[in-house]
Structure 1
Amino acid sequence: MVTMDRLRAMLLLSMLYLGGMAVYPLDTLSGVFSRDVRTLSVENPDYFMSPPVVRLGTSDRLVVKFDILGDEHQYLRYRILHCNADWQPSRLLEPEYVGGFNECDITDYAYSSGTYVHYVNYRVEIPNEDMQLLVSGNYLMQVYPESEPDEILLQQRFCVSENSVAIAGNVTARTDRGVNDRWQQLYITVDVGDGSRINPYQDLVVTVTQNNRPETTRTLAGPLRTEGGTIVYAHDPALVFNAEDEYRRFETVRADYAGMHTDSVKFGGSNWHAYLSVDEPREEKDYIYDETQHGRFKIDEYNSSDPDLGADYVTVHFTLEMPRIAEPVYVDGDFTSHRFGDFNRMRYDDVRQCYVAEIPLKQGSYNYQYVVDRGGVYTPAPIDGDKYETRNEYLVKVYLRQPGSRGDRLVGATVL
């Protein structure tokens, strides 16, 4: 339950933000803020390849999962914030977007079993009996200790869609910048229905995200034309993306066996170590097809009926053989929440002439790539290049922002 003091504080923050007094936008990216929190994920329990979007007013559910290292359960709570299309907080009050309670205990937890690294696994299903979602839009879930509500341990984005518009389109290598070269271009149509009172030039906000990486998100300037109830988005520079290359993959499903793209494994100290095969830059190489999961990971352990509790933490050793460059190099994938810091930054080994990194990861199947920080823009292109044949995944979301509204509604979302 929201106290009056807390409600006043939230209103004040909203007014400061909306009044232009906020110097920086709020950090609403998914991520963890404690060294003991690991393996944050959000997924559709029926199909892990689905984007984190549920349909309003249906039985759709998302499951947010994470581990906290150690042997003791912690008393945790969670809350959610409603955000606009730009992922900044909307002006909606909690009772307008949440039914039930917005500060709930996390009661679904269990202890790891038979692992060298001990942890407690936590799960939150959204929506649930205690918390119902009343409106569509972007949502941010925050988890914090029961005794310290201002200490955010982690946060996770997800969306609720009305599915009141029909989105279609295609991806092509015939782009406004070149044909069968380094880019891919989208053509998108949004069917709002004949007789709709929506003004497509003022009321709609359309965003496109490549491979679930928030730094790739584009907001379209507006439609090219309308054809009755169909709105066409085309020939917009924001619809042209670098094609990049397929993600790399590895598996640690069996800790004592060298799986996919793993040269060797060994037990050292207090846990298993997996040494991946040496990677090389692919910028000058031709495209090679691979069946990837567009950056995702899936927890798995070959001998466990419940991998969430039976999978161990393995220290994964990454090696990228290439000359040193001026910019920082990172390992990236959904397992990093697409954040960049010391935990996934590579260091250069002058003796071996390669970049190396060691990251503790829960057993499973992983997609990853190497990215370069070019002035705050994180891109894999300097290492892997751009191949027009790459099978990228594009999430298209359509928001309704009508005059006088205090929050953006998500009226449609689809993957192209």
Structure 2
Amino acid sequence: MKTFLFTVLCGMLLAGQAMAQAVNTLPQVLDSKVKSVQIAPSSNLYLPPIYVMGSDDVLNITFDYLDYDVHYLRYSVRHCNANWQPSVLVPSEYVSGFNEADITDYAQSNSTFVHYYNYNFTLPNADMQFYKSGNYLLTVYEQENPEKVLFQARLAVCENTVAVHVDATSRTDVDYNDRHQQVSFTVDYKQGLIADPYNELTAVVSQNSRLDNEVYLTRPFMVSPGQVTYDHNRSLIFPAGNEYRRIETVNLHSLNMGVERVQYFEPYYHATLRVDEVRAASPYLYDKTQHGHFTIRNAESDYSATESDYLVTHFSLDCDRMTGGKIYVQGAFTQGLPAADCEMHYDQPSGTYTCDMLLKQGAYNYQYLWVPNGSSVGQTGPIEGDKYQTTNEYLVKVYDRPSGERYDRLIGYGINYGGK
């Protein structure tokens, strides 16, 4: 018993020391051979990576490693607070068994020019069950070299003990049916579940799973018996953006949506996309999109995970040279962030911005973000335009830390698809 207490206390001390310095927990791929990272509920690929405790659903994690040889990999999870900094909990407090395990489900690509291994596992599983709700940082690394991290990603575990009702409207506190959408939401709970809503709760609001413009709220607008309301908050007013652009590379031998041509130049297939236009001054045009998500698919195979090839995908944007910032391609395939390998570069001879990315066959949503110098927040207005009619996905996660608690519990979440 003394040994156990000593171990727990040491773990808490180390965790406390780690909290003294901010840890980079942003989703990122650290090995260029890792591609097509996806985390989603097995029941619906387009839902956020949130596991509801006690449900029959699981989170499915899949990715490729581009190589002829198999690599033996492991994964670990680390509990984090609402702000995605590591909590003071030790692994034995938040997962059963150990907080790391081998990835044993993998398969070699078949009939593809690019050779890769497809890896797949689920959470929770027989080796790892979640004891605590909240945020979790997933890390995948080499089995023989734990210091060689391949990528890290985010997922969440939810208690679902409250009901979160989300609304979004184009009739905002700053304009009316113009360039913005305003989010409001309520949290309904049983009496006694939340003792001090004004000081216990943290709400996080995201638009289309983007992390660069995510909003954190620590004070509700109003509290009434059994209900907390968040409304009329300037932080909840988002630029409306535009419907995501779409491309498909599901067939290598016929025309695909948004693709000008597909050619093979050893060692890769190349997909040259149709030149995109700036939409800022164009009228709104509805298109049914997946709010930035992507799907791996080969229309000529029943085994898309291992029989889909990789293509060098050439993006181009017909746009005058812009100064004072950078343009990025953004979507779920960029980890929801304006990333360095998704930066567009101006090509003087063609008068276009271009970016080349190695993408697996499938259907992709994307948009162009303008990021001013000195800022990390992308803007849709300069290129895509901000149209109040746009259908956006607004995700609200609600965390609770009662007095004396040592971590942030994720007690509920809600999603709204709209904005009109």
For the aligned pair, the TM-score class normalised by the smaller chain equals over 0.9
Map Cα deviations across residues 202-222 of structure 1 (whole Å, 9 max, x no partner).
111111111001112111241
Q: 2:378 maps to which residue?
A: 378
Deviation at 1:12, TM superposition (A): 5.1
Alpha-carbon distance in 1 for matches of 2:411, 2:348: 53
Q: 2:16 maps to which residue?
A: 15
TM-score normalised according to structure 2 size: 0.94
Matched, 1:391 2:391: yes
Alpha-carbon distance in 2 for matches of 1:191, 1:50: 22
Matched, 1:365 2:363: yes
Deviation at 1:6, TM superposition (A): 10
Deviation at 1:296, TM superposition (A): 0.3
Alpha-carbon distance in 2 for matches of 1:208, 1:72: 42
The residue type equivalent to 1:233 in the other structure is: Y
How many residues align structurally?
410
- Identity between Structure 1 and Structure 2 (%): 41
Q: Equivalent residue of 1:238, what SS?
A: helix
Matched, 1:129 2:126: yes
Alpha-carbon distance in 2 for matches of 1:276, 1:164: 46
Deviation at 1:57, TM superposition (A): 2.1
Map Cα deviations across residues 270-317 of structure 1 (whole Å, 9 max, x no partner).
221111111011111111100010000000001111101010001111
Deviation at 1:384, TM superposition (A): 1.1
Conserved? CA contact 1:31–1:40, under 8 Å: no
Deviation at 1:367, TM superposition (A): 0.2
Matched, 1:355 2:353: yes
Matched, 1:67 2:88: no
Q: Equivalent residue of 1:16, what SS?
A: helix
Map Cα deviations across residues 89-121 of structure 1 (whole Å, 9 max, x no partner).
011111000102212011000000100100000
Q: Equivalent residue of 1:48, what SS?
A: coil
Q: 2:208 maps to which residue?
A: 211
Conserved? CA contact 1:55–1:162, under 8 Å: yes
Conserved? CA contact 1:31–1:339, under 8 Å: no
Q: 2:244 maps to which residue?
A: 247
Q: 2:35 maps to which residue?
A: 38
Alpha-carbon distance in 2 for matches of 1:347, 1:98: 45
The unaligned stretches of length 5 or more in structure 2 are: none
Map Cα deviations across residues 24-72 of structure 1 (whole Å, 9 max, x no partner).
x211122210011111111122211111111112222011111000111
Q: 1:54 maps to which residue?
A: 51
Q: 2:286 maps to which residue?
A: 289
Deviation at 1:247, TM superposition (A): 0.6
Alpha-carbon distance in 1 for matches of 2:34, 2:337: 14
Alpha-carbon distance in 2 for matches of 1:323, 1:6: 61
Q: 2:158 maps to which residue?
A: 161
Deviation at 1:341, TM superposition (A): 4.2
Alpha-carbon distance in 1 for matches of 2:238, 2:43: 30
Conserved? CA contact 1:220–1:239, under 8 Å: no
The verdict on how the C-alpha distance between 1:26 and 1:5 changes in structure 2, with shifts beyond 3 A counting, is: farther
Deviation at 1:156, TM superposition (A): 1.4
The residue type equivalent to 1:264 in the other structure is: R
Alpha-carbon distance in 1 for matches of 2:293, 2:357: 16
Conserved? CA contact 1:256–1:266, under 8 Å: no
Alpha-carbon distance in 1 for matches of 2:263, 2:285: 31
The residue type equivalent to 1:362 in the other structure is: K
Q: 1:413 maps to which residue?
A: 413
Q: 1:403 maps to which residue?
A: 403
Q: 1:222 maps to which residue?
A: 219
Matched, 1:91 2:72: no
Q: Equivalent residue of 2:17, what SS?
A: helix
What does 1:316-335 align with in structure 2 at a 5 Å threshold? 316-326=313-323, 327-335=325-333
Q: Equivalent residue of 2:113, what SS?
A: coil
Deviation at 1:151, TM superposition (A): 2.1
Conserved? CA contact 2:213–2:378, under 8 Å: no
> What is the root-mean-square deviation in Å for CA atoms of aligned residues?
1.9
